[in-house]
Every structure is written in structure tokens, then in C-alpha cells.
């Protein structure tokens, strides 16, 4: 993994829209059919307990990135509760997070999968659509658990949710049917990239010391109910200050973290011009960086 010299791309305290916590990057190349784009690349991200899916833009993949202060999607427009409903645990905090954004060229559509707290206390996923990447319309249907990472294969849509639940939909918008559970209960956030019949999966594990980016593959040439992951391979651990390398190496915990810690989280994979890129959160949820990556042969 070859880290960008320009890292961190975004960091807590770096300006408006970068308060307290930054996590969950998802990058797209803005399609040519979008008029008056802010820049060539849109980097979506979130606050773990925030009310907005945030957005930063750049003309070069390594930045500099400028925060679009209005954001891309707001809690009030998400169909999720905007405050804690009666009867749900105190741990409930109304929020939206974890954008997973895709460009559908033929449909001239941009889709964003994201999650929020449902009124029954569960974190669940919805999808929103857009024609410009800045203004999204949310579909009310609840699709499944949190942290959807979506890919298309064989005419269907699939999602890998946390922790390791595989789901399948005919159109990617409705009726995601649960399938096998892969990986393990400590799997946290993942990123997926499909090459032919091989799904590349990058992920992290809660309760690890340090929480690091791991890699596995899934052969998707068989029936989806039979898919299984390979043993994990190590990709990266914190090695720079902004990634938390100077903080104590302690087991990570589930949930938000509002201080810099010795952890990498939230891998997000992007491919352009034959080059694979991996974006991720460093210092726990204190900054976002990027890297070039060479996939195993």
C-alpha cells in the first residue's frame, strides 16, 4: 500500500464540516453527464453520530479536497428519526452515516446506500438516488442492516453488511434477501471490488490491537449461498502520526471514537485507469487518507 504524500486528505479540526469525527469515505469520479460539477472527484464521508452525509471535492485524486459545507444528505430528509423515540435504549442517537456511493452510467444515476437508527432501535440501511451527486432523494424501503457495501454480479445486486452478512437483490433498490454470514462477529467495516468472478474484500476487525486493514477474496462463480471467504491477509496498520501511530496500541471498541487512537478503520476501494486506490479512516475516526494499491495476482 503506497500512501499518498498529501495525507491526511481530511482531518478533524481542518475547517467547517470537519468537527469532532470524520469517517466512512466513499469516492466517485463525477460522470461527464453531471453539469456544473464542483470538481472531478466527490468524496463522501460522515460523522459517526452526525446528521449529515458530508461531501468534499477535488480535481485531483490526491487532493487538495474542499469541503462542500451544505453536505449531500441530511437526517431530516432521510426518512429516519431525527430524535430518540420513546422506549428505545439511551444508546440510541439519531444520525445517518456510512455512505456507499455508486455511479450507474447507463441509467445516468448516482446511488448512495447509507444507514441510520430506525425507530425500533436498530441501525438499518436505505438507498438514495441523485442525478448530480449533490441532491439525493431517499427511498423509504428499509433494505437490511448497517454498513452495506454493494456490487453487481450476474444480473443481480449484492450487499456485504456488518458483520459479514451477504444479501441479494434483483435491482439494488428493493427486497434485499439475506443469505449466508461470512467472516466473523468482530468484522467491522468493509470495502468490495469485483474483478470477473473474484470479489476482493478489504475490512477491519473490532477488538484488534491495533485495528488494521485486512484483505480476503471470495470466489463468486458458484451459487451465492455457497460463497465463502479466504483466510485474511494483512494490508496496513497505523504507521504515521495522523493514523495514530504514537497513541497507545490498545484493543479497539465498537462505536464512535472522538479522540485520536491507534487504529485504521473504514476501508473504501476505488478503481480508475487500471489503478486501484484504497481510502480509509486513520487515528480511529480522526482523519481520512488515501493510497495506491496493487492487488495480488
Give the Cα separation of 235 and 62 in Å (integer).
Answer: 20
Asked if residue 279 lies in contact with residue 292, where contact means CB atoms within 8 angstroms, the answer is no
Distances (CA, A) of 82 to 69, 110, 149: 20, 25, 24
pLDDT tens-digit readout, 161-176: 999 999 999 999 999 9
Residue 93 lies in domain: 2-293
**Does the structure show a pLDDT above 90 at 220?**
yes
Radius of gyration (C-alpha) of the chain in whole angstroms: 18
Burial class (CB in 10 A: 0-12, 13-18, 19+), 4: middle
3 state DSSP class of 132: coil
- 3-class SS of residue 250: coil
Query: Beta strands 10-11 and 2-3: pairing type?
Result: unpaired
Instruction: Dump pLDDT digits (tens) for 130-184.
Output: 999 999 999 999 999 999 999 999 999 999 999 999 999 999 999 999 999 999 9
| CATH number of the domain enclosing 29 | 2.115.10.20
Residue 47 φ then ψ, to 5°:
-110, 130
Query: Does pTM top 0.75 for this prediction?
Result: yes
Digit-coded pLDDT (tens) for 237-288: 999 999 999 999 999 999 888 899 999 999 999 999 999 999 999 999 999 9
113: how many CB neighbours lie within 10 A of its CB?
A: 25
| The total number of structural domains that make up the chain | 1
Alpha carbon distance 103, 120 (integer Å): 32
Amino acid at each position: 500500500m503506497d500512501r499518498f504524500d498529501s495525507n491526511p486528505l481530511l482531518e478533524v479540526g481542518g475547517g467547517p464540516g470537519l468537527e469532532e469525527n470524520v469517517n466512512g469515505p466513499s469516492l466517485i469520479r463525477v460522470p461527464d453527464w453531471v453539469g456544473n460539477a464542483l470538481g472531478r472527484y466527490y468524496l463522501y464521508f460522515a460523522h459517526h453520530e452526525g446528521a449529515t452525509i458530508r461531501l468534499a471535492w477535488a480535481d485531483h485524486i490526491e487532493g487538495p479536497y474542499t469541503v462542500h459545507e451544505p453536505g449531500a444528505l441530511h437526517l431530516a430528509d432521510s426518512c429516519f428519526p431525527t430524535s430518540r423515540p420513546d422506549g428505545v435504549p439511551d444508546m440510541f442517537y439519531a444520525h445517518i452515516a456510512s455512505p456507499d456511493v455508486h455511479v450507474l452510467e447507463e441509467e445516468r444515476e448516482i446511488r448512495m446506500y447509507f444507514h441510520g437508527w430506525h425507530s425500533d432501535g436498530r441501525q438499518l440501511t436505505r438507498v438514495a438516488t441523485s442525478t448530480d451527486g449533490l441532491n439525493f432523494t431517499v427511498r423509504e424501503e428499509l433494505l437490511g442492516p448497517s454498513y452495506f457495501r454493494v456490487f453487481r454480479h450476474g444480473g443481480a445486486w449484492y450487499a456485504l453488511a456488518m458483520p459479514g452478512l451477504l444479501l441479494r437483490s434483483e435491482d439494488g433498490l428493493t427486497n434485499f434477501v439475506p443469505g449466508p454470514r461470512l467472516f466473523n462477529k468482530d468484522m467491522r467495516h468493509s470495502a468490495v471490488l469485483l474483478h470477473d468472478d473474484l470479489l476482493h474484500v478489504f475490512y477491519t476487525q473490532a477488538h484488534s490491537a491495533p485495528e488494521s486493514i485486512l484483505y480476503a477474496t471470495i470466489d463468486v462463480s458458484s451459487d451465492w449461498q455457497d460463497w465463502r471467504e479466504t483466510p485474511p491477509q494483512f494490508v496496513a496498520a497505523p504507521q504515521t502520526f495522523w493514523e495514530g501511530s504514537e497513541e497507545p496500541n490498545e484493543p479497539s471498541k465498537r462505536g464512535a471514537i472522538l479522540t485520536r487512537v491507534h487504529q485504521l478503520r473504514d476501508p473504501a476501494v476505488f478503481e480508475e485507469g487500471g489503478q486501484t486506490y484504497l481510502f480509509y479512516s486513520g487515528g480511529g475516526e480522526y482523519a481520512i487518507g488515501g493510497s495506491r494499491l496493487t492487488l495480488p495476482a
